[in-house]
Amino acid sequence: MQLETLAQSLNAQLASRSAEQALRISFEAPELGQVALVSSFGAEAAVLLHLVAVSKPDLPVLFLETGQHFAETLVYQQELAERLNLRNLRIIQPARAALEHSDPSGKLHRENPDACCALRKSAPLQAALEAIPDLGALITGRKRYQGGPRRALNVFEADPATGLIKVNPLAHWRAQDLRTYMEENRLPKHPLLAKGYLSIGCAPCTSPTLAGETARSGRWRGREKVECGIHFINGHFINGRAARAPHSAKETT
């Protein structure tokens, strides 16, 4: 089955906008094979991580440790992983040789943020995905209300760069839905939320969100860049995807 056709078929199986149903379909669909989750352990990550911990605690959870995270994010990642008893957490880091070659000063984000994201996120993630046997789907925490290209996000989408199905269980959730879920399940908040950071990435490229802005307005402020480059939207490259040779897309049969 072609990747885009498979995404459409999975979306057609959704009887509601329930994140639990989306996850259940992901785990039970024989066409997908192995499933993994990529998490930033950012502002809203606790919701999806909790949903997964309840339904499939041994699911591979990938955290991209770029070397430029806020200290608060690293502490939060450790605390949340322990609290939720994530049994298969994998810390993904960029290769030391690649950093020494392409970003020896650690300032690449100033000169070329797309190249920095490719070096510290896209390439390490690609290698980590290729190391998971029979991987067919990757779960993400993206949501429509975050604005920009994400406004048209579907729960299941084809990612031709990796040949995977991207699963976005929270695509239709609102900010209030997330707050309610966190309160009802007594989940800890990322400490930077109290300082106005509504979307949290690497420290050099993240600033607080101002009143009236969309949640991701504080990312790469002052630049046209809107994404780190590890995601497609509706099968298309989106602004900020660093130029690198795409992985040959595989078909899921």
Catalytic residues: 228
Q: List, in sequence order, the alpha helices (H) in the chain.
A: 3-12, 19-28, 45-55, 71-84, 96-102, 108-111, 113-117, 123-130, 175-184
Residues 6+ positions from 55 with CB-CB distance below 8 Å: 20, 23, 24, 27
Among positive and negative, which fits the CA dihedral 229, 237, 249, 6?
positive
Whole-angstrom CA distances from 215 to 17, 21, 72, 133 are 21, 26, 19, 35
Largest CA distance in the chain: 51
202 DSSP assignment: B
* 114: CB partners within 8 A, 6+ apart: 225, 229, 240, 241, 242, 243
What does each C-alpha distance from 113 to 160, 188, 223 come to in angstroms? 23, 31, 9
* Cα separation, 217 vs 205, whole angstroms: 11
Q: Are 238 and 226 in contact (CB under 8 A)?
A: yes
